[in-house]
Amino acid sequence: MSRNKAKERVKSAKGRKSGSTRWLKRQLNDPYVNRAQKDGYRGRAAYKLLEMNEKLDFLKPGQVIVDLGAAPGGWCQVATAKGAKVIAIDLLEMDELADVDFIQMDFMDDDAPDRLKDMISKYNSDGLADLVLSDMAPNTTGHKQTDHLKIMAVVEAASYFAAEVLKPGGTFVAKVRQGGAQNTLLAEMKKDFETIKHMKPPASRKESSEQYLIAQGFRGC
């Protein structure tokens, strides 16, 4: 037997679409998926946050963090392990986690930002958070320009929310697509933050167009 572990093979079951077979094969052969199972994380995405934090050190004990698009909860697990309290929201259900206050709701609903602000106030009397995380990604259509506009609309909404709730010195992390944030949004954010970087963490699949925007040093209102 060779020293390199043989890749697991997935046969196309009768009735299974080829796309489903490719996804299952990729999952079974993904070292981050296997590592997440061993480490007790709810998904491979946990390592994206861990790797970004390793480079930029924005997770601290005692923080109040808002996690937008939190399900299944991998980023919440990483944040609470660092000693943070997390307010989380997602359109999908999420099983309970210690030190996480979760609501099942679409962040793009008009009432969502105010609901989250009320939840922050339970932890900080000033209603402000140390960090806003957004791993939200709208459903894709397959049309490149349409999908880009949809993801940028979500990023823009998340950035406006972050500007309303972040403490001075706070950080905003958001999933974007290849090419990063649009120039108009970046120009606005540069007024609000001391530094802005784009990063594709190693845990992000090579074939994925995703990358992350990390804005640090919020200047406050």
Angle between the N-to-C axes of helices 31-39 and 45-56, in degrees from 0 to 180, rounded to the nearest 10: 90
CA atoms of 85 and 63, how far apart (whole Å): 6
CA atoms of 172 and 166, how far apart (whole Å): 8
Q: Which of 82, 175, 190, 206 is catalytic?
A: 175
Assigned token pair, 73:
């909860």
CA atoms of 48 and 11, how far apart (whole Å): 30
Rounded to 5 degrees, φ, ψ at 14 are: -60, 125
Ramachandran class of 127: left when φ > 0, alpha when ψ lies in -120 to 50, beta otherwise: left
Assigned token pair, 117:
């602000």
85 is catalytic: no
CA atoms of 75 and 65, how far apart (whole Å): 10
Catalytic residue set: 175
